[in-house]
Amino acid sequence: MPYRQRRHSLKSKDAKLILNEVSKRLKVNVEALFDSKVNVEVAEVDFGQIYLISGKPLFFKIEARVLPTLLFQDFAARAPKVVVDMGAVPYVCKGADVMAPGIVRIEGEFGKGDLVLVVDEKHGKSLALGESLYSSETARSTKKGAVVKNFHFVSDKIWNFAKTLAE
């Protein structure tokens, strides 16, 4: 399904603001991951904006939040992870929040409200990006209920659109 889009480059000042916002949210100096003179483009569609860094769709903005896409490999390598069993995979990939019984283990440390990557136990593939509802310590001991609020998942509008931009 083709998306109607408007795509344009950002001025360096605006690009720097976006990268600073993302750095604060991810608690990583995002600018250090890229060349000093990085080209930032924005593709605007009806459901939000996708930010392309040197031609790669690495961030998206919905409402007032700028978050990494699942295609941002540098973030995936650094992010704390919630590993789910294979039974949880189809639900997470349809947008369901991550429930405690489906969690196999938690890798890394995070606080309540931090971004975490949800991966499957068999292949370690990124399935979703979410916000932790608990600290990593509390999440490890939680036995029922939601643990991660799902924001972005494989096969959602952002994923599908970003994949068309990455080709």
Cβ(51)–Cβ(34) below 8 Å: no
Strands 115-120 and 81-84: parallel
Q: Is 87 left (phi over 0), alpha (psi -120 to 50) or beta?
A: alpha
C-alpha count within 13 angstroms, C-beta hemisphere, residue 157: 14
For residue 84, pLDDT beyond 80: yes
Report domain 6-72+157-166's class.
alpha beta
Three-state DSSP class for 25?
A: helix
pLDDT band at 65 (very low <50, low <70, confident <90, very high): confident
| Percent of the chain residues topping a pLDDT of 90 | 57
Q: What are the structural domain ranges in the chain? A: 6-72+157-166, 75-153
pLDDT tens digits along 23-56: 887 777 777 777 667 788 999 888 889 999 888 9
Q: Is the model more confident about 32 or about 13? A: 13
pLDDT band at 154 (very low <50, low <70, confident <90, very high): very high
Given this model, what pLDDT does residue 35 score? Answer: 66
Closest listed residue to residue 63, CA positions, set 127, 141, 152, 144? 152
Give domain 75-153's CATH number out of 2.60.120.380, 2.30.130.10, 2.40.110.10, 2.60.120.200. 2.30.130.10
Given this model, what pLDDT does residue 156 score? Answer: 93
For residue 1, pLDDT beyond 60: no
pTM for this model (two decimals): 0.88
pLDDT tens digits along 93-109: 999 999 999 999 999 99
